[in-house]
Structure 1
Amino acid sequence: MEEIMQTLHKHFEYTENAEIAMECNPAHLEFDDVDRLAQIGFNRLSLGIQDFDPKILELVNRDPSKHPVKKLVEHMKKIGFKGVNLDLIYGLPHQTVESFKESVKQAIEISPDRLVTFSYAHVPWVKGAQKKLETYGLPNPEEKLAMFDAGLSMLTKAGYISIGMDHYAKPEDELSKALKNKMLHRNFQGYATKETTGQVYGFGSSSISQFNGAYIQNTKNLNKYMENIEKSGFAVERGYELSKNDIIRREVITDIMCNGHFSFEDISNKFKLSTTELKEILEFSETKLEAFIEDDLITYKNEVLELKSEGFFVVRNIAMAFDPLLKTSEAQYSKTV
């Protein structure tokens, strides 16, 4: 990792406010590792906790943290990391609302700068090993929604700001400030500010690059990846070039999922379109929003959509109303809840 960081510093210039982050598995993280990461230039660390219950972790074949997480986080802050994240997952085998609340409680006591509650994505048609988890019993959608609700309630009462559909940050955090100013953005790495995000360049096998006009994924096979890199410097397995309409739809969906807001006038002006043209590109119909309005999840007035706090529970579903490609796709996806 030190060699990689030296190479990056050699070929690229860093901005003053660059966020240089590493996601770590706490099961293998030593205090010396934290010190070394700080020395080579990292300023934010994310710990993949998933759950604090060792019995639940055992079911998903994951070891618990090698050291007390609270001690690790205290050490990170002590030596100067400007941010520490904790990641939790709800919807795992044998999780209950009460057990998940206990994990959230422990996370709040640790007091990270940011906290994420990811919904477990059950995709056994992609990851065959997940089929085994079905034999243990997975929480149903109603139970998962209750877990999400419990986490939201506990974290906001503790002073965290709800960011998008699964992130939480302290009020002084840059994500909270960006949300307040409707300048929040999202890419494959999660939420970011529009000021600090840009194109995503993926390095390594299976990595995905997210450009302004395309998505590119490297080959998943490590040996094939190394062979292709040595031959040509590239190991692309597949890619997708976005049309202008794709880019416009992505902008709309990103605004909804990040900022809970979408204005036909603003997007039309940005892309030099009429609102009629924009509605045609989105294949928009107000009838698609009727159920969300009736359930008091959104407001839609003067061609401006605003999500209410409860609307973020189903923000993916709301965003789907603006994606006409979903009805033509044959791909399978994880459930939104």
Structure 2
Amino acid sequence: MKISSQLLQKYNVPVPRYTSYPPANHFSSEFGESNYIQMLDESNSGTPQHLAFYFHIPFCKKICFYCGCNAYTMGRPEQTEVYLRAIKKEFALVAKHIDPARKVSQIHFGGGTPNSIEASMLKELVDMVAGSFSFIDKPEIAIECNPAYLTHAYVDALKQAGFNRFSLGIQDFNDDVLRTVNRDSSRIPVDELVAYIKKDRSDIGVNLDFIYGLPGQTVESFLESVEKAAAILPDRLVTFSYAHVPWMKKHQMILEKRGLPSSEVKMEMFLSAYELLKQKGYQPVGLDHFVLPTDELFASLESKELHRNFQGYCTRRTTGQVYAFGVTAISQLEKGYAQNVKDIAEYIATIENHHLPIEKGYTLTAGEMVTREAITELMCNKRVSWSDVANKLGVPAEEVRAQIAVNENTLAGFAADELIAYTSDEITVTELGAIFIRNIAASLDSAYQQQANSYTKTV
């Protein structure tokens, strides 16, 4: 696949990633604890009925310069213990509003670096959930790991705790690139690490995550990393575009001084990796995932039942309303979103006073729920049908079209650029269009306005 510089220039503009609708920059500080409690109570009669729990572990042994997450350099061990106690108290405050008959389909640990703390602490949180709710058959219990801090004993402890999805943040196999971005390489050779994680456990899945667009990377060097990764045969291989947001994360300015690849080079990195992974038998899923044909994400894509939340792509089987815990964590419920405070001290103090640490949130209108469904379908399954959305939500198809303000001229422009095919009822994204799917989704968002310091560019 080739992309002209004209097409890249036309569509490489700031657009939301649409991990939520509306995007998080629309959340309001007028939304508080009482709003969240009402939303929690209402979530019991909402959809999906399954429960998904997210735990934010913000600690890192050191901060990578590309990081856009809410992360803190680890301090004294007591700080970690106090933080974990606060998470448990927050869970108790939230759990009393959740119907105990509902089942858990997914638990996800993100950060920061979840494996920067003792594995026994993570097990305590998994056990806490298991002590409060029952699980569906084969739930996903996932953790994001920095392989620099994984040992065989730590992996054993995670497996014994019930973890069955490991996302390994490799980022690049080139040690010079890693040093430039202040990240350490894997303690155990990655091929050996993956084999050890999957040893004697056919139910465990492994992701290898990479970032393209970092200083020191070239098309050739990134392709070498991807080829090395494909040879290891992880279930999923993810290629994230580096999101440069120095107005939010000041440490990213260090990377500017060290030289960032141009948009054209970044696109060539992605397309070269895309073609290589297809040759190796991987199937593209969503914005940035590549999966083996045996992976249930691919089966979900084929049946047009792929879903996604702040934690990434998931199947309808493991999809739940997301109840999130820890600093800056965002809950995603049927009727809206609630985000916790970002400061650890404030988070702990609020919970010690028996209050939920809500900083901001958003309650969706009926019309926005229509737009969310349409954008989610497009972003996940590369098509959206107004009649399908209407049937799912129980509203007239005309109302769906009116709510998302379909612009025929815009659609015609996408079609002329071979990004989509469309009829009066359906938009289908082409292989080329999948590269610019965020732009297509933004055209369905009547509230979208291009804001350079609110969104990252497409590439």
Corresponding residue SS for 1:14: strand
Whole-Å separation in 2 of the counterparts to 1:214 and 1:235: 17
Whole-Å separation in 2 of the counterparts to 1:235 and 1:148: 39
**1:244 shift after superposition:** 1.2
Aligned to 2:263: 141
Corresponding residue SS for 1:21: strand
Describe the shift of the 1:106–1:330 C-alpha distance in structure 2 as closer, same or farther (beyond 3 A).
closer
One-letter amino acid of the counterpart of residue 215, structure 2: P
Whole-Å separation in 1 of the counterparts to 2:377 and 2:308: 9
TM-score norm. by structure 2 comes to 0.71
Give matches, 1:71-220, under 5 Å: 71-80=192-201, 81-220=203-342
Describe the shift of the 1:179–1:294 C-alpha distance in structure 2 as closer, same or farther (beyond 3 A).
same
Q: Structure 2, unaligned stretches of length 5 or more?
A: 1-121
Given that 2:247 and 2:453 are in contact with CA atoms closer than 8 Å, whether structure 1 keeps it comes out as: no
One-letter amino acid of the counterpart of residue 161, structure 2: I
One-letter amino acid of the counterpart of residue 194, structure 2: V
Given that 1:35 and 1:79 are in contact with CA atoms closer than 8 Å, whether structure 2 keeps it comes out as: no
- Identify the match of residue 295 of structure 1 among 383, 400, 417: 417
Given that 1:161 and 1:170 are in contact with CA atoms closer than 8 Å, whether structure 2 keeps it comes out as: yes
Matched, 1:69 2:173: no
**1:76 shift after superposition:** 0.9
Whole-Å separation in 2 of the counterparts to 1:218 and 1:286: 40
Aligned to 1:54: 175
**1:233 shift after superposition:** 4.3
Corresponding residue SS for 2:248: coil
Corresponding residue SS for 1:74: helix
Provide the aligned C-alpha RMSD in A.
1.4
**1:275 shift after superposition:** 3.0
**1:331 shift after superposition:** 6.0
Matched, 1:25 2:146: yes
TM-score norm. by structure 1 comes to 0.97
One-letter amino acid of the counterpart of residue 160, structure 2: Q
Whole-Å separation in 1 of the counterparts to 2:406 and 2:417: 20
Whole-Å separation in 2 of the counterparts to 1:317 and 1:255: 14
List per-residue Cα deviations over 1:181-205 (Å, max 9, x = no partner): 0000010010001221111111111
Whole-Å separation in 2 of the counterparts to 1:46 and 1:79: 18
**1:303 shift after superposition:** 2.1
Given that 1:175 and 1:193 are in contact with CA atoms closer than 8 Å, whether structure 2 keeps it comes out as: yes
Describe the shift of the 1:322–1:139 C-alpha distance in structure 2 as closer, same or farther (beyond 3 A).
same
**1:146 shift after superposition:** 0.9
Aligned to 1:318: 440
Whole-Å separation in 1 of the counterparts to 2:357 and 2:451: 26
List per-residue Cα deviations over 1:113-154 (Å, max 9, x = no partner): 011101110011111111111111111111111111111111
Whole-Å separation in 2 of the counterparts to 1:197 and 1:255: 14
Aligned to 1:15: 136
Given that 1:179 and 1:259 are in contact with CA atoms closer than 8 Å, whether structure 2 keeps it comes out as: yes
Q: Structure 1, unaligned stretches of length 5 or more?
A: none
List per-residue Cα deviations over 1:269-312 (Å, max 9, x = no partner): 22333333222211111111222211212101242111111111
Whole-Å separation in 2 of the counterparts to 1:335 and 1:328: 10
Whole-Å separation in 2 of the counterparts to 1:274 and 1:285: 18
Which sits farther off after the overlay, 16-25 or 232-241?
232-241
**1:79 shift after superposition:** 3.6
Corresponding residue SS for 2:266: helix
Corresponding residue SS for 2:272: helix
Aligned to 1:225: 347
Matched, 1:241 2:351: no
Describe the shift of the 1:243–1:74 C-alpha distance in structure 2 as closer, same or farther (beyond 3 A).
same
Corresponding residue SS for 2:448: helix
List per-residue Cα deviations over 1:148-184 (Å, max 9, x = no partner): 1111111111111110110011101100000000000
One-letter amino acid of the counterpart of residue 260, structure 1: K
Given that 2:347 and 2:357 are in contact with CA atoms closer than 8 Å, whether structure 1 keeps it comes out as: yes
Overall identity of the aligned pairs, in %: 46
Which sits farther off after the overlay, 81-90 or 24-33?
81-90
Whole-Å separation in 2 of the counterparts to 1:207 and 1:97: 35
Given that 1:214 and 1:241 are in contact with CA atoms closer than 8 Å, whether structure 2 keeps it comes out as: yes
One-letter amino acid of the counterpart of residue 13, structure 1: S
Which sits farther off after the overlay, 285-294 or 257-266?
285-294
Corresponding residue SS for 1:20: strand
Whole-Å separation in 2 of the counterparts to 1:121 and 1:255: 24
Whole-Å separation in 2 of the counterparts to 1:21 and 1:152: 25
